Amino acid sequence: MDLLGSPSNSLLGFTSNPGYVTSSPGGVGRNIAENLIRLNQPCWLMAPLGDDANGWFLQEHCRRIGIETQAVAVLPKQTTSTYLSIVDEAGEMQVAIADMSLIDGFGEAQLKPHLNHLSAAGLVAMDTNLSAECLRYLCGAIADKPLFVDTVSVAKAVRIKPHLQQIHSLKPNLAEAQAIAGTSFGSTPSDAQLISLADWFAQQGVRHLYLSLGARGVLYSGPQQQFVMAMGDHTQAPKVINSNGAGDAMMAALCAGWMQGLDAEARVAYGLACAQITMSSQTTINPQLSPELVQRMLKECPCQMTPLY
């Protein structure tokens, strides 16, 4: 579950802030799955839930919106993972606490009975909340599948480093990418440094890199091109209310774009538009997200691409 605290005015440190606290279904993998459903892409969710009220609520919510949950594992005597975040008055996350200990008990024993579904999938999306052991099992058991990986956080991103050769598409932010690569270019690297970082991932075997650069957009690096793309006219974009969930929406859009056969430029634009739409919602998932809304966003705010050389 996601818990979100939003201040009524400017966020002040070291004191209580008047504001609003909301709860909504969450979890990176589950968020990606729900966004995929809203983009008309069928999907199965394989994830652990606690044997508690939140767990049963999440499972019922997933079923209701169309996510296949036959492979969801309910772990006895465990509590469902919770993500607590505080955003500022601009909707930007300032601090968060992730209680994800439940996922440490999720791995080969729960996944092996469903290998037939994994093997039949058009692609498999996963995130580095999964334990190192679970990632190792998946990267070995379904190495022939396109593996899309969201690196989640600096602390957990390095879990995927031993398996980069198996990764089809990787979506880190700048800090996560530098943690994996062992570089220290800071928060405003030059184009030459970005190219160097992207080339390092390609040398490790990553086929498609989608590197989030915050307000600057996304750096894409693939077999035939490298570019940075950002949303166009921000005056036409919806107001940012909550930045949580934007990365999950982008990951879902990249998966959906690949399944639809979109080229790299179209996939990145699709991802940026989904992220922008998501940030206009108070909840982690924008319930209004749809392929039609994405196309309208791209028409009203066309993305701008800058090649990297």
Looking up residue 119, the CATH number of its domain turns out to be 3.40.1190.20
- Quote the pLDDT of residue 234: 64
Which residues 6+ apart lie within 8 Å of 39 measured at CB? 252, 253, 256, 274, 289, 290, 291, 294
Asked, for residue 10, whether it belongs to a domain, the answer is no
d(CA 97, CA 188): 26
pLDDT tens digits for range 72-112: 999 999 999 998 999 999 888 899 998 988 998 999 999 99
d(CA 173, CA 212): 4
Asked, for residue 34, whether it belongs to a domain, the answer is yes
Asked, for residue 123, whether it belongs to a domain, the answer is yes
**Lookup: tokens for 90:** 């601009």
Q: Is 147 helix (H, G, I), strand (E, B) or coil?
A: strand
The separation between the first and the last C-alpha atoms of the chain, rounded to the nearest angstrom, is 43
- Quote the pLDDT of residue 283: 85
Q: Is 205 helix (H, G, I), strand (E, B) or coil?
A: coil
**Lookup: tokens for 26:** 């969450």
- Quote the pLDDT of residue 232: 83
User: What is the block-wise mean pLDDT of the chain (309 residues), using blocks of 10 residues?
Assistant: 93 96 91 98 96 95 96 93 92 89 92 94 96 96 96 96 98 98 94 97 98 95 96 75 89 98 98 95 91 95 92
Asked, for residue 292, whether it belongs to a domain, the answer is yes
Indicate the DSSP class of residue 163.
G
Asked, for residue 286, whether it belongs to a domain, the answer is yes
Asked, for residue 184, whether it belongs to a domain, the answer is yes
Asked, for residue 11, whether it belongs to a domain, the answer is no
- The total domain count for the chain is 1
- Quote the pLDDT of residue 158: 98
d(CA 163, CA 176): 15
The range of the structural domain enclosing residue 303 comes to 30-43+104-307
Asked, for residue 287, whether it belongs to a domain, the answer is yes
